[in-house]
Structure 1
Amino acid sequence: MKARDKVIVVTGGGNGIGREIVLNLLEKGASVAAVDVNEEGLKETVKLAGDQQDRVSIHVVDITDRDAVGALPGEVINHHGQVDGIINNAGIIQPFINVNDLDYEKIDLVMDVNFNGTLYMTKSFLPYFLERPEAHITNVSSMGGFLPVPGQTIYGASKAAVKLLTEGLHSELKDTNVNVTVVFPGGVGTNIMKNSGAEGTRESKNDEGKAHKLLSPKEAAEIIIDGMEKDEYRVLAGKDSKMMDRLYRLVPKRAAKMIADRLG
């Protein structure tokens, strides 16, 4: 689905990849409903939109609040007159600690934001998408959604759930006007650790691009939107994601060991 003249909802639009997705969509001629829990971040996104900000609406919503999410389609349609797509980008990671040491409060939060938030947004908007001439759902999973990362096991489980949810939706909607894409970013240079409250925890030897160049949020956004516009089934964002996808398909145990060894 081409972005021009479409109305697209973007979660996590107040920072990082989400902000860059909003700005890229505006450049392509779309109108955008930017969703985030951080109102100041959303206002900064609008400011960065410059003379295109008249095509942006901001919605301060906690995507784990099912009732608030359920009211969102009406708000978007009231503002823009229609809604044609969604990019479920919002997500958090966990502290870099093993499951044995991770408390249930953090486990619940990661699953609620990453999986339930994506599910609530998808179910709330899907009935409206089915009434459009064409529509698109893009869900952002993670390289950690197909490859185990020690210390991020719950995060990976939440993103694996997003993966299968999206692939299942693709099959269910194959004979409709709604296309579905799942995205697997590798390493991206964002503030996700800070925004997730996971600072000060164990970091990979690859952090900060020491062993490989991280994608910038802008580069990741371009790849995600290109995948949407081409109606791709799955999108691997970054050389590391592409490499590990191939390796994990061929020799999964070796690929898992490689990641574990990098994390020390």
Structure 2
Amino acid sequence: MKVQDKVILVTGGGNGIGRELVLHLLSKKAKVIAIDRNKSALEETAIIAEKLGYSLKTFVVDITNKNDVEALTVDAIAHYGYVDGIINNAGIIQPFVKLNDLSYSEIERVIQVNLYGTLYVTKSFLPHLLTRPEGHIVNISSMGGFLPVPGQTIYGATKAAVKLLTEGLNSELSNTNVRVSVVFPGAIRTNIMGNSGLSVEEKPISKAEERILTLPSKAAKIIVDGMERNRYRIFVGLDSKFVDLYYRLAPKSAAAFICKKMKGLIK
């Protein structure tokens, strides 16, 4: 689905990939609705958009609240008269600890945002999207959604659920006007730890890490390009593509490789 003149809603539009998705969609002449639970971050995105000459509609919404999401759906559709696509970008990670040391409150928070938030937005907008000449749902999973990452087991479980939710939805909608894409970002240079409410010890980025990390602006372009090409699976970053292939060919070896890489990060 070409995004020009389409109305696209982006969750988590206050920062990181979400903000870059908003700005990139606007640059391609889409009409964008950005939502986020962080009011100040969302306002900052709106200010940046305005300085670039774009008009952006924003809503402060907690996607873990089903009633608020349903109210958002009514308000978003009322603003432009229709919505053509949604990008479920909002997500958080867990503290870098093993499952045995993770509290139930932390577990529930990650599940509520990553899985239920994506589900609520998707299910709430889907009946309307089915009435449009063409529609598109893009759900952001993760490289950790197909590969086990120690210290991020619950995060990975939610992203694996998003992966299968999206793929199942794609099959269910195969004979409709709505296309569905699942995105697998690798390592992206964002403040996801801070945005997840986790304390962060700032460390300098090595040259090797610098080569691996994908800029949020580049990630946004890859995602929107995949959306416009109706891609079933969208990989962001060479690391995501490499690990996907590695895990499919030798899952136990790939899991051991990631486990070794994670040593030192897990408390």
Corresponding position of 1:53 = 54
Alignment length (residue pairs) = 261
| SS of aligned partner of 2:139 | strand
Kindly state the Cα deviation for residue 208 of structure 1 after the two structures are TM-superposed.
Answer: 6.1
Q: Which runs of 5+ in 1 are unaligned?
A: none
Separation in 2, partners of 1:102, 1:119: 24
C-alpha offsets along residues 153-190 of structure 1, whole Å, 9 cap, x if unaligned?
00000000000000000000000000000000000000
Matches for 1:18-37 after TM superposition, within 5 Å: 18-37=18-37
| SS of aligned partner of 2:58 | strand
Kindly state the Cα deviation for residue 111 of structure 1 after the two structures are TM-superposed.
Answer: 0.4
Whether contact under 8 Å (1:135, 1:177) holds in the other structure is yes
Separation in 2, partners of 1:88, 1:222: 16
Whether contact under 8 Å (1:208, 1:214) holds in the other structure is no
Corresponding position of 1:228 = 227
Whether contact under 8 Å (2:212, 2:239) holds in the other structure is no
Whether contact under 8 Å (1:95, 1:197) holds in the other structure is no
Corresponding position of 2:236 = 237
Corresponding position of 2:12 = 12
Kindly state the Cα deviation for residue 52 of structure 1 after the two structures are TM-superposed.
Answer: 3.7
Amino acid at match of 1:53: Y
Amino acid at match of 1:227: G
Separation in 1, partners of 2:116, 2:168: 15
Separation in 2, partners of 1:172, 1:106: 32
Kindly state the Cα deviation for residue 47 of structure 1 after the two structures are TM-superposed.
Answer: 1.1
| SS of aligned partner of 2:54 | helix
TM, length-normalised to structure 2: 0.94
Do the aligned partners of residues 200 and 129 (structure 1) sit closer, same or farther apart at CA in structure 2, a change above 3 Å counting? same
Separation in 2, partners of 1:208, 1:76: 43
Task: Among all aligned residue pairs of Structure 1 and Structure 2, give the percentage whose two residues are the same amino acid.
Answer: 59
Whether contact under 8 Å (1:189, 1:208) holds in the other structure is no
Q: Which runs of 5+ in 2 are unaligned?
A: none
Kindly state the Cα deviation for residue 69 of structure 1 after the two structures are TM-superposed.
Answer: 0.2
Amino acid at match of 2:29: G
Separation in 1, partners of 2:155, 2:130: 31
Whether contact under 8 Å (1:47, 1:53) holds in the other structure is no
Pick which of 69-78 and 210-219 moved more.
Answer: 210-219
| SS of aligned partner of 1:188 | coil
Residues 1:135 and 2:135 are matched in the alignment: yes
Corresponding position of 1:179 = 179
Do the aligned partners of residues 44 and 257 (structure 1) sit closer, same or farther apart at CA in structure 2, a change above 3 Å counting? same
Separation in 2, partners of 1:242, 1:77: 36
Kindly state the Cα deviation for residue 79 of structure 1 after the two structures are TM-superposed.
Answer: 1.3
Matches for 1:114-193 after TM superposition, within 5 Å: 114-193=114-193
TM, length-normalised to structure 1: 0.95
Kindly state the Cα deviation for residue 198 of structure 1 after the two structures are TM-superposed.
Answer: 2.4
| SS of aligned partner of 1:53 | coil
